[in-house]
Amino acid sequence: MIKPFRLIPLMLLATYTLATSDIVVTATRTQTSKTDSLSATTVITAKDIQESGAADLTELLKHTPGVIVSSSGSQGSSTSIFLRGMPANKITVLIDGVPAGSATLGTMALNHIPLATIERIEIVRGPVSSLYGANAMAGVIQVFTNKSFNNDKTYSGTIGTTVGNYDTIELRIGSQYHSERINISGNISATHTAGYNSTTQKTGTNSDRDGYNELLASLASSATINSKTKINLAFFQTQNTVEFDSRDFYTGTDIAGGSYTENTIQSGSGEIIFKLNDAVEFNSKIGFYSEESDTTSTTDSLIVTDRLYGHFKSDVEIDDHNILTTGVDLTNEDVSRSSTNYQIEKRGNIGFFSQIQSNQGQFEAIASMRYDDNEAYGDFTTGSIAIGFGDIEQAKLILSYGTAFRAPTVNELYWPNSDPYYHGNPDLKPEKSRNYELTLKGQTELIDWSYTIFRTEITDMIETAYNSDTGISLPENIDKAEISGMETVLGAYLYGFDVNLTSTALQAIDTKTDKHVNGTADITENLSISRSFADVTVKSDFLYDSGRYVDNDNSTLDSYLIVGLELNYHPKESINIGFRVNNVTDKEYFTNRSGTSFMYRNPGRNYKLSLDYSF
């Protein structure tokens, strides 16, 4: 049994330095110095992604503060993500500013966004509904697709490949054109893995390997019209096929033949930035998101979300210390192409938001408010305020309070009454939350640290209730939860070593049952140590999990410590050779199970070799 906080003594020597860029936009919807930000924010850059050796986005995110991931098996399989003890339906996901994810499930399959198309990721922890509306209760994860350009060359490109265990191979190609006014970039990639058996079941077809195939194409461009106007365009499409083990829900018997899901995700946006003068800037964007999941199994199904999005935003520098942001965004969701005949298939939302930022040196403050009006569940108002005192080079104290909400999903609202076991409930209200937070942080040339205490109270939580008289289950606003946590982000550059550590301790309690929320863990910790020698960088990382709560009796899975080793070699500036060993000790560990019948596997010791060349 691994003792909780066994890595804590190292906190006195370590800091979290994964984020190398100092400018963030997600926390305030404006460009803000990460050092000055009053929100808990993590940035993952393209370099971090390339050198991580991660197979997908969820594998990358599980090394960031406050994030835990529960996998249902081999690459591409259904994966749940928690942020500060709250599940994926309480996290807003954006792709280039456009809301992403299924309207029917209320979640985004993050592991289906290929890493090859990602330039940067920003993770904001804490409520941000006062800027982004529904579902930003735990925070926001924004993915920025590839748009960087080599300003030294008119034409440039990259080509790379990765091979590894489970017959895994990935090929990726990118190209760029740069001129004084126009920039264009494109990327394509293909991934295949035969996978491994996703479950501990040994019967029937469930002992086979569960494979994954993926194709990606993306395109981005920017055009500088004049000194005041710029246009940005972005598009990507990914298609994948995921094999999975399955059982008949009613008989419990194995399904003969293969079960698989074919997924297609598309996202695109167009943006115009107009700078009226040095103090006033306008931003307008239109975009779309489309997600199709076509499943062949015991019962075939097609689940489709089509989303249209648009916003208009203005930023006004009132003076050297104050910025006023106002805006409106509109969203329309359509699930009519799904195989399920929902009672209502479309819903629209309009949201108005405003924010004031004030930086007076030793004193900073941000306040924001948003009003949403939704065709499905009515109107909702949220707000937040954060105040910072002190000098970041010594210690800065931040106090914040915010409200947020989660919207009922289409499944919860409008599942057809023809189903003999489950009905939707069009009278559902949004879940709502209040969050209190205290942060103390500091930064010097060699040391960067922060310590945060937070508490979130959630009411009107949606839970499925069974009516014994009718035999029908119905979602209702009948639950509550309280989440209290401590988050530590510490580290330093010491004697040539980069030492990075994060630790999250939390209690997520369902106050109706007085039990821990399923899927959460009391303690999660990440430690990485790296050192560069001329053209070689060597890194080791450690991921500790105290064990997940998995049922109503608060049974827990075993704790585990997973070790990774990584080497990156740059014989030339244009060449990177990476080698990574995951799960060095070949630890058998589990993050998810199906009832009491079987467990979902995670990969044992596995290897990856990658080669990237830029020209």
CATH code: domain of residue 405: 2.40.170.20
* Closest listed residue to residue 312, CA positions, set 282, 340, 288: 282
Q: Are residues 73 and 199 in contact, defined by beta-carbon separation less than 8 angstroms? A: yes
Q: Please, which residues have CB within 8 angstroms of residue 33's CB and are 6 or more apart in sequence?
A: 22, 23, 24
Q: Are residues 452 and 498 in contact, defined by beta-carbon separation less than 8 angstroms? A: no
The reported pLDDT for the residue numbered 33 is 86
378 is written with which tokens?
């009515």
Q: Are residues 219 and 185 in contact, defined by beta-carbon separation less than 8 angstroms? A: yes
Q: Enumerate the H helices of 37-150 as residue ranges.
A: 46-52, 57-61, 129-132
**By three-state DSSP, how is residue 484 classified?**
strand
Q: Which domain range does residue 483 map to?
A: 24-614
The reported pLDDT for the residue numbered 478 is 94
**By three-state DSSP, how is residue 35 classified?**
coil
Residue 170 lies in a domain: yes
**By three-state DSSP, how is residue 204 classified?**
helix
The reported pLDDT for the residue numbered 4 is 41
* Closest listed residue to residue 304, CA positions, set 278, 335, 277: 335
Residue 605 lies in a domain: yes
Q: Residue 310 pairs with which residues in a beta bridge?
A: 286, 330
Residue 5 lies in a domain: no
Q: Quote the distance between the C-alpha of residue 565 and its chain's center.
A: 24
Where does residue 159 rank: exposed (0-12), middle (13-18), buried (19+ CB within 10 A)? Answer: middle
- Extended strands (E) in 407-447: 431-443
Is beta strand 91-95 parallel, antiparallel or unpaired with respect to 139-145? parallel
Place of tokens 């106002």: 326
Residue 161 lies in a domain: yes
> What parts of the chain have a pLDDT lower than 70?
1-21, 148-151, 202-207, 246-258, 596-597
Number of domain units in the chain:
1
Instruction: Give 120-165 pLDDT, tens digit per residue.
Output: 999 999 999 999 999 999 999 999 998 766 667 899 999 999 999 9
Residue 361 lies in a domain: yes
The reported pLDDT for the residue numbered 17 is 36
* Side chain identity, residue 189: S
Residue 19 lies in a domain: no
Q: Are residues 108 and 99 in contact, defined by beta-carbon separation less than 8 angstroms? A: no
| CA atoms of 215 and 4, how far apart (whole Å) | 41
| CA atoms of 309 and 285, how far apart (whole Å) | 8
Residue 229 lies in a domain: yes
Residue 596 lies in a domain: yes
| CA atoms of 191 and 375, how far apart (whole Å) | 40
Q: Residue 346 pairs with which residues in a beta bridge?
A: 334
| CA atoms of 382 and 139, how far apart (whole Å) | 14
| CA atoms of 340 and 492, how far apart (whole Å) | 53
Q: Quote the distance between the C-alpha of residue 331 and its chain's center.
A: 20
The reported pLDDT for the residue numbered 248 is 54
What is the Cβ-side half-sphere exposure of residue 184, based on CA atoms within 13 angstroms? 3
Q: How many residues does the chain have?
A: 615
* Side chain identity, residue 176: Q
* Closest listed residue to residue 448, CA positions, set 490, 505, 481, 418: 490
